[in-house]
Amino acid sequence: MPPKNRFAEMLPELTAIRRDFHENPELLFDVHRTAAKVAEFCRAIGCDEVVEGIGRTGVVAVIKGKTDTKGRVIGLRADMDALPIHEQTGVDYASKTPGKMHACGHDGHTTMLMGAAKYLAETRNFDGTAVMIFQPAEEGGGGGREMCADGMMDRWCINEVYGMHNMPGIPVGQFAIRPGAIMASADQIEITVTGKGGHAAKPHECIDTTVVAAHIIVALQTIASRGVDPMKQVVVSVCTVATDSTAHNVIPQVVKMKGTVRTMDFAVQDYVERRVKEIAEGTALALGAKAEVVYQRGYPVTVNTPENTDFAAEVALAVSGKVDTDTAPLMGAEDFSFMLLERPGAYIFLGNGDTAMVHHPAYNFDDNAIPFGSSWYAGMVEARLPAV
């Protein structure tokens, strides 16, 4: 089955919407224009309920099927925010705001979900309720977490939830998914080493924080190499090292380090958090200094429920004919993970063709993917809530 014909008819309208979003990117929770356009659209197409301001600037639109014999509710999610990047696509609908750009294709995600909403509101050929979730602040702000914290799942009695992201390198119209962990957790570490500064020619009168920091950096590498099961993925990277001295003959009093931790497993994440603290504090202590560790948890692992992954892949196969059901997980993070912590569901990739990677200034969402994405969203509702 190809994409639903209705989306081929809608493509000019949806492309115009996508390009309007592209031209007017907004960051984090500051997606007021985009959210207002989404809400206005959802009201115009006859959604049964449209609520703004969920998770600060998220929008929830509800569409009821022809019947509701079982009280089942499916959530479909798209993200609306852009990135702080100077666009270099050269397209005539490029960002009008220097330094802001839809470089992750969330303009496309929002548009595809709007298209699915229009189709579902027209046809209502399902038994139950479809809830369209348009979230702000996917790019670091935790908009998905905020919408969940606002009680969205319980308020609309959502039973299961599905998300989609475009992916360069996969042909347009093809899908990729996997059961289990598909995106990593992303945590931040900050380590402050305090010793005793002084003259670099008198090291015996100092506690050299630079040497302590170096030992900590090397010792942290044993978390991945010696501590975690080699069959499990983990990244521990120290990315910034800054001393309070710029001289060549002063031993600094303080060294600050920043880094990131990525895992694919909640138990590994807990282990790494504990070990970063033990290694930094213990190494500093052994060398006469003091280390303070701030371990800040970011987005959790995005874990696809196996059963729902199968449903998502079946619908994708019906739409496209080509689905990779064992795609490699990515070490990037995604805050749809917060919704998957609350409800079973799945997160799928939709090909964006041979374009620049997401977050690159030359990246652009391919409008030809719209009928496939909209068909998948709508197809999930019709497949999971079959008409009676």
* CA–CA gap between residue 321 and residue 249 (Å, rounded): 66
Site of tokens 């652009």: 364
Rounded to the nearest whole angstrom, what is the least distance from the CB of residue 106 to Zn ion in the complex?
6
Rounded to the nearest whole angstrom, what is the least distance from the CB of residue 166 to Zn ion in the complex?
8
Rounded to the nearest whole angstrom, what is the least distance from the CB of residue 172 to Zn ion in the complex?
17
DSSP string, 162-221: EEEEEETTS-TT-EE--SEEEE-EEEEEEEEEE-B-EETT-GGGSB-HHHHHHHHHHHHH
Contacts with Zn ion, 54-93, as mask; x by CB under 5 A: ----------------------------------------
Given the complex with Zn ion, which of 128 and 163 has the nearer CB atom? 163
Which stretch in 12-20, 25-33, 96-104, 275-283 sits in contact with Zn ion by CB under 5 A?
96-104
Given the complex with Zn ion, which of 164 and 289 has the nearer CB atom? 164
Rounded to the nearest whole angstrom, what is the least distance from the CB of residue 365 to Zn ion in the complex?
10
State how far Cα 157 lies from the chain centre: 23
Q: Does 104 bind Zn ion (CB under 5 A)?
A: yes
Rounded to the nearest whole angstrom, what is the least distance from the CB of residue 165 to Zn ion in the complex?
6
Which stretch in 7-15, 34-42, 102-110, 295-303 sits in contact with Zn ion by CB under 5 A?
102-110
Which stretch in 97-105, 118-126, 170-178, 371-379 sits in contact with Zn ion by CB under 5 A?
97-105
Residue with the closest Cβ to Zn ion?
Answer: 104
Rounded to the nearest whole angstrom, what is the least distance from the CB of residue 140 to Zn ion in the complex?
9
Q: Does 234 bind Zn ion (CB under 5 A)?
A: no
Which stretch in 62-70, 98-106, 243-251, 285-293 sits in contact with Zn ion by CB under 5 A?
98-106
For residue 104, what are the β-bridge partners? none
Q: Does 350 bind Zn ion (CB under 5 A)?
A: no
Amino acid at 340: L
Measured on CA atoms in the order 109, 376, 132, 156, is the torsion positive or negative? negative
How many residues contact Zn ion, by CB under 5 A? 1
Helix axes 5-23, 32-44, angle to 10 degrees: 150
Rounded to the nearest whole angstrom, what is the least distance from the CB of residue 3 to Zn ion in the complex?
22
* CA–CA gap between residue 89 and residue 105 (Å, rounded): 13
Measured on CA atoms in the order 275, 276, 281, 284, is the torsion positive or negative? positive
Which stretch in 62-70, 100-108, 117-125, 275-283 sits in contact with Zn ion by CB under 5 A?
100-108
* CA–CA gap between residue 175 and residue 249 (Å, rounded): 57
Which SS3 state, helix, strand or coil, does residue 330 take? Answer: strand
* CA–CA gap between residue 199 and residue 191 (Å, rounded): 24
Q: Provide the token pair at 271.
A: 């282990």
Rounded to the nearest whole angstrom, what is the least distance from the CB of residue 79 to Zn ion in the complex?
6
Given the complex with Zn ion, which of 135 and 283 has the nearer CB atom? 135
**Residues binding Zn ion (CB under 5 A):** 104
